[in-house]
């Protein structure tokens, strides 16, 4: 797997797995409707080749109006289905606006599923504003900046999260904005973990 770094982001090609195809197909809908989003958490390391399983993908989308969300809901329901909300009004008002996630899977399937949230904290807004484009086999996906993704994984602190952080840091350390990474280490108070696991 050869990674090409461009001004826009990262380009590469690989053998696609089921999770990759799911994310690509879901992202196509978001891209088509110009909905800003970022894929975060565990799938980012899987995307770049880490060999581990995951049943869900975490995604943060910009806060939408109800009419715009209705357009997204209708478009998604052509191929996917929401597995925890019955209709768009409930999904919007009872889940997204109260900072709970809605989950979409392919029709007739339960896993994998896409866990979608609106921004909840300032870091979520920053992540969307500074998202990075990935061209995966020429398919466009937007991910959280790695300079935040890596420290946040250490902040979560489970064994799986630490291994994700170690994998991403080893893969990208020569292409990271180190001052930005260090700043997030400080903000998340994980300098000790960073020095223990990644140095």
The whole-number pLDDT of residue 22 equals 96
Contact of 84 with 75, CB cutoff 8 Å: no
Percent of the chain with pLDDT over 70: 100
The whole-chain average pLDDT of the chain stands at 95
Task: Provide the b/e sequence for 76-104 (b: ≥16 CB within 10 Å).
Answer: beeebebeebeebeebbeebbeeeebbbb
Contact of 71 with 88, CB cutoff 8 Å: no
Q: Looking at the predicted structure, is the pLDDT value of residue 29 above 90? A: yes
pLDDT tens-digit readout, 131-156: 999 999 999 999 999 999 999 999 99
**pTM, two decimal places:** 0.95
Do β-strands 9-12 and 132-136 pair in parallel, antiparallel, or remain unpaired?
parallel
**CATH topology for 4-144?**
Beta Polymerase; domain 2 (3.30.460)
> What are the boundaries of each domain within the chain?
4-144, 146-199
The whole-number pLDDT of residue 41 equals 87
The whole-number pLDDT of residue 170 equals 96
What mean pLDDT is predicted for residues 109-130? 95
What mean pLDDT is predicted for residues 59-82? 97
Question: Where are the alpha helices (H) located in 157-190, listed in sequence order?
Answer: 159-172, 178-187
Tokens of 175: 């292409």
pLDDT tens-digit readout, 163-189: 999 999 999 999 999 999 999 999 999
Q: Any long-range contacts for 14-21 (C-beta under 8 Å, 24+ apart)?
A: 14/49, 14/136, 14/137, 16/136, 16/137, 18/112, 19/43, 19/46, 19/54, 19/57, 19/112, 20/47, 20/136
């Amino acid at each position: 797997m050869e990674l090409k770094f461009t001004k826009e982001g990262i380009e590469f090609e690989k053998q696609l797995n089921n999770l990759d195809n799911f994310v690509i197909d879901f992202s196509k809908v978001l891209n088509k409707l110009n909905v800003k989003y970022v894929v975060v958490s565990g799938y980012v390391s899987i995307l770049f080749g880490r060999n581990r399983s995951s049943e869900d993908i975490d995604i943060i989308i910009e806060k939408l109006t109800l009419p715009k969300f209705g357009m997204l809901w209708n478009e998604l329901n052509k191929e996917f289905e929401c597995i925890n909300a019955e209709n768009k009004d409930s999904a919007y008002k009872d889940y997204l606006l109260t900072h709970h996630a809605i989950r979409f899977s392919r029709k007739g399937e339960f896993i994998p599923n896409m866990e979608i949230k609106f921004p909840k904290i300032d870091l979520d807004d920053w992540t969307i504003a500074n998202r990075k484009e990935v061209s995966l086999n020429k398919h466009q996906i937007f991910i959280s900046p790695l300079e935040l993704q890596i420290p946040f994984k250490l902040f979560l602190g489970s064994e799986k999260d630490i291994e994700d952080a170690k994998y991403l840091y080893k893969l990208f350390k020569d292409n990271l904005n180190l001052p930005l990474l260090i700043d997030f280490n400080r903000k998340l108070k994980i300098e000790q973990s960073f020095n223990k696991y990644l140095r």
